[in-house]
Chains A and B, each alone.
Chain A
Amino acid sequence: MITQTNHLLAIGLFLVLAAAIASAGEDPGQTADQLTADEIVDNAMRVSYYQGADGSARVKMTITDPQGRVRDRELSIIRRDDLPKDEEDKNDEFLGDQKFYVYFKRPADVRKMAFMVYKHVNAADDRWLYLSSLDLVKRIASTEERTSFAGSHFFYEDVSGRNKEEDVHELLQTTKSYYVMKNTPKNPDLVEFAHYKTWIHRKTFIVVKAEYYDDKGEKYREYKAVKVEHVQGYPTVTRARMTDDRIGGYTDVEYSSVKYNIGLPDKIFTERYLRKAPIKYLR
């Protein structure tokens, strides 16, 4: 009996090893299938918000209301990963604090307005607004993340990234092109959705679609990436649409002049440059 058990154990061990070797020997792309839900979300976060050490883009938003009336927003956005001093990020794996600077160009009534955010992963963000006509640097309370950004259908959180730890992530499905994720908020009182699903492109980890559901399981909000370009080797969404049935209408967003690793100095994200826009980086 004892020898028979040992024999079976040995076969079992052999099988496990063989399975490992067999799978390792197959298409290397297959290893990605073994990513956990959290790893997939990390990769998607990185591709959406953290590519390179910094970046800049011109943004055009076209807001269409339910009656078909259109409003335009034009702004420039720059971003810098706030890497702790003496730390290196050779593999671009950093997913920590960031600094954002948004400079409005249109419409005329918000022109030259500047908005600065210190995004903290483990604390509330710090936000400042500069109103040029008053030369006023205003500090803004930031408890609400899911409120419209510049009157569009995008929320602040869509622009700077929703903290991964605020949701529980499950891999629902792996299709030929996508990881289909279900993301459920840990604290449902803070958000307007019951859960949302994301379709993450397996090859690039681009979020191609996101659908937001209410507590009756009805979809009311949808994000869709419409165009992706490869900028300096980084896959980048350059056109997207957010539709929201509760608000009505949709916002199309278009990114142009996208640049990565432009060597943004940290000092750009200070009061000095709120009052005097760093035009060099905003063109």
Chain B
Amino acid sequence: MNAEMPLLRFLLLPVLVAGLAFLASAQDEPDLPDGLGDAPELPAGLHADDEPADEPDLPDGLFDDAPPPDEPSEHRKTLRDILDLTGFLEVRGGLRTQRDNYEKDASIGETRLHLETETRGATSGIEAVADFLYDPVLNRPDIDIEDGQGWIDLRAANAYFTPVPTMDVKIGRQILTWGTGDLLFVNDLFPKDWVSFFIGRDVEYLKAPSDAAKVSLFGENANLDVIYTPQFDPDRFITGRRISYYNSTLGRIAGRDAIVQAQTPDAPFRDDEVALRLYRNIAAYELALYGYHGFWKTPVGRNAAGTKATFPRLSVYGASVRGPLRKGIGNVEIGYYDSEQDRSGSDPLVRNSELRMLLGYEQDLPRIAKDFTLGLQYYLERMMGRRAYRRTLPAGTPAKGRDRHVFTVRLTRLLWQQNLKLSLFTFYSPSDSDTYLRPNANYKINDHWSVEVGGNVFGGKHRTTFFGQFENNSNVYAAMRYSF
């Protein structure tokens, strides 16, 4: 047998070569790309010892023989990890694009220092966020910590902890958001700052802080959020101080000459708010049920004397679903607004109950352009008890329609390696015949500096509709920010 082995090997060689050649010809041999062109086209496997010109060197740490022992890299703790203070300094200015007889020409002019700090332990932490403002437009030196007026706007000051593994608690001033809408809110009844939104502050300022306790429970089948606000936190609504509006008592547009005087319910633990959300995911779909008990967030009522705006009692019951739909994300959200002080709809001083509904869809459009996203929404507000409303409407007051329909379109495009963001958000209401456009361009010059320009453009057939009344407030703005 020993004598036969060399012979066998000798015989084997041509068989193997033939076999390999057969295999190589059986597969569709690709053309070698540029740079490998000089090499003859030989079947795979026969190049075993060749080192083609474009073959990469082995990187540090890789060897053809045995691997070296472990050498895990360690992260060096920097000062930044220990002292967690960040924020930005911003200058922002804006002008009305037309004269407004009731407001200044400057829509915004402020210098803002935003500071954030957070300290976290294993199961607890504290967070504080404050904005310091210098604002010659408003020239109101007194501070109101509730409505964010004055030189300081405290946006967060809270403590959070995890008393048991299935529960999170956050107590104090905090920003709260839930629901599925994009700049439209059905079940999110946390305070909004519409003034900031309309005069061209960063969109993060649309959310005003709540002074609340948030308790979150996490279960096997569902999760529950309970948010208790002991003292009602209204929206930072349009008062006329910065933005002119339609005043139904005067029957005309008004502004600084007729600042809305509101009676805000403010008795702690009596004028309180409770918001609930029960939610879970089923496959890729997010399902949620919502409940709210408190007050209308803007003063949609009037006192009997007609001298003051009021916040009538409100409860909201709602639901939402969000998840993949075709090539994008779809969402549906509904909410029933139970206006408790006017369930029949016959009290002209209190807004009627409403059914609110939202349908949304968002998709990116890579075939049209890279980093290009389209978002569409349809929103409905349907008045309940309209017959009673019409019957009791004071003579001379223009009657609202039963339905308010709003369509929104969001176009977002990222350019220049995502450093330039162009966006246009459009509200259009066919029932009110009014529009609101929010164009914006934001450019990140580098990791610290960014600049942005944008506008808030209102238009409408009538001066009494939601967006139409703000026509004289159309504005353009520019801002420069240094982040640290």
Contacts and interface: CB of A to CB of B under 8 A. Distances in A.
Interface of A: 15, 18-19, 22, 33, 58, 63, 65, 69, 71-72, 106-109, 111, 118, 124, 126, 131, 133-137, 139-141, 143-144, 147-148, 150-151, 170-178, 180, 182, 197, 199, 201-204, 206, 208-209, 213, 217-219, 224-233, 235, 237-239, 247, 255-258, 267, 270-272, 276, 279-280
A126 B55 contact: no
A133 B366 contact: no
Contacts of A239: 59-60
B197 interface: no
Contact of A229 (B49, B73, B203): B73
Interface residues of B, number: 85
Contacts of A58: 75
A34 to B, nearest CB: 10
Nearest to B366: A144
Given A136-B177, A217-B33, A255-B73, 18 more contacts: A108-B86, A108-B448, A109-B444, A109-B450, A111-B86, A135-B174, A143-B363, A144-B366, A175-B47, A203-B67, A208-B62, A224-B56, A228-B60, A228-B62, A238-B73, A239-B59, A256-B75, A270-B281
Nearest to A19: B12
Contacts of A151: 417-419
B47 A226 contact: no
Contacts of B175: 133-135
Interface of B: 8-9, 11-12, 15-16, 27, 30, 32-34, 44-45, 47-52, 55-56, 58-65, 67-75, 86-88, 120, 122, 160, 168, 174-178, 203-204, 206-207, 216, 218, 223, 279, 281, 284, 286, 322-324, 327-329, 331, 362-364, 366, 370-371, 373, 417-419, 444, 446-448, 450, 483-484
A272 B15 contact: no
A69 B58 CA distance: 29
A228 B32 CA distance: 28
A169 B103 CA distance: 68
B371 A71 contact: no
Most buried by B among A139, A238, A255: A139
A135 B444 CA distance: 23
A173 B8 contact: no
Contacts of A227: 59-61
Contact of A199 (B8, B56, B446): B56
Given A107-B483, A148-B418, A209-B56, A134 B207 contact: yes
Which residue, B11, B75, B323, has most C-beta atoms of chain A within 10 A? B75
Given A173-B52, A204-B62, A247 B417 contact: yes
Given A141-B328, A143-B327, A22 B9 contact: yes
Contacts of A257: 73-75
A271 B450 CA distance: 30
A147 B366 contact: yes
Contact of A108 (B16, B63, B88, B417): B88
Contacts of A209: 56
Given A58-B75, A107-B447, A174-B44, A208 B58 contact: yes
Nearest to A18: B8
A230 B71 CA distance: 6
B16 A276 contact: no
A185 B322 CA distance: 32
Nearest to A213: B33
A65 B417 contact: yes
Nearest to B34: A217
B416 to A, nearest CB: 9
A173 B44 contact: yes
8 contacts: A124-B324, A139-B329, A175-B47, A180-B52, A219-B33, A232-B72, A235-B62, A238-B61
Given A133-B204, A225-B59, A280-B122, A176 B64 contact: yes
A111 B329 CA distance: 25
| Residue among B34, B120, B418, B450 with the highest chain A CB neighbour number at 10 A | B418
Contact of B69 (A213, A230, A271): A230
Nearest to B64: A177
Contacts of B370: 144, 147
